[in-house]
Amino acid sequence: RSIWRRYWSVGRRKRTRKMMKNNEVVNDLLGYPGLKIIQRPDMFNFSLDSTILAYYVGINKTTKKIIDLGCGNGYVPIFLSLRTKALIHGVEIQEESFDLAKRSVELNNLTNQITIYNGDMKEIHKTLGVAQYDIVTSNPPYFKYSDDSLVKESEYLKIARHEVKVTLNEVVHSANVLLKDGGTFAMVHRVERLMDILEAFRNNNIEPKRLLFVYPKTSSEEALVVFIEGKKSKKKGGLKILPPLYVYNEENKYTKEILKIFNYKEDNHA
């Protein structure tokens, strides 16, 4: 889900003092006033990657239904509510994350717009229908997994970060099944898996249309994360490369672009 370890808990910059059951914490959702999210230190919290996904995915006035695959604690659906009045669904296979997401939606009084489902994204079309969505988003597990993989993590984190329950190709296939013709699929992933991603997109009838490379610093020579967006279409071509996104400048302060995404004021968070 993320390789930016220092950003996993970026929401804690404005932590409230109220602790809940199971060491849960209610955080402000970055710099966006009025929105909260319930998190647990021992679980996967929202990341820079998720924020980039929710910020950059193309939404317009014709967007009526959106679904986020592997929604975790519900961060992407809640962030998307800032950008659209469309109906938003989230699917999460792990019950603990599903519970956090459901309660976060309730905490923000967004139950009329956002619904969270506990289930397998590969099977969710049986409940929600085929070709029903204008937009599908996903921040999927990044790491390949096999029975002999050495993973020293909790079962929860193993599933969140590794392709234990779902593979890259299965994520993209699920998006294809859920999307209307001409619909948009957007995801974030590791740059090193870009060829796998492009192959999975085309194999599942989703044509890549926009790419954004994310670099740790303005001086970095290699990007670590890629945002990719495609359309469910048989028409090939039309790929555009967006200007690069840099997280930190040379003074190890957030760039203006990141501050804008986080909705932070430069004088307080630079």
pLDDT category of residue 181 using cuts at 50, 70 and 90: very high
**Buried-exposed string 83-106: b where 16+ CB fall within 10 A, e elsewhere:** ebebbbbbbbbbeebbbbbbbbbe
Q: How confident is the model at residue 16, as a pLDDT?
A: 47
How distant is the alpha carbon of residue 15 from its chain centre? Answer: 21
Q: How confident is the model at residue 5, as a pLDDT?
A: 44
R_g of the chain, CA atoms, integer Å: 18
Residue 41 pLDDT greater than 80, yes or no: no
Q: How confident is the model at residue 234, as a pLDDT?
A: 87
Average pLDDT, the chain: 86
**Buried-exposed string 5-39: b where 16+ CB fall within 10 A, e elsewhere:** eebbbbbeeeeeeeeeeeebbbbbbbbeeebbbbb
Give the count of beta carbons closer than 10 Å to the beta carbon of residue 72: 25
The tokens describing 114, both together, are: 């956002």
The tokens describing 143, both together, are: 């790491």
pLDDT category of residue 161 using cuts at 50, 70 and 90: low
Q: What is the pLDDT of residues 194-252, one digit of tens each?
A: 999 999 999 999 999 999 999 999 999 999 999 999 999 988 999 999 999 999 999 99
Residue 265 pLDDT greater than 90, yes or no: no
pLDDT category of residue 39 using cuts at 50, 70 and 90: confident
pLDDT category of residue 17 using cuts at 50, 70 and 90: very low
How far, CA to CA in Å, does 176 sit from each of 75, 171, 180, 183, 201? 23, 9, 8, 9, 9
Q: How confident is the model at residue 144, as a pLDDT?
A: 62
- List the single range of 24-33, 141-150, 184-193 with lowest mean pLDDT: 141-150
Q: What is the pLDDT of residues 73-117, one digit of tens each?
A: 999 999 999 999 999 999 999 898 899 999 999 999 999 999 999
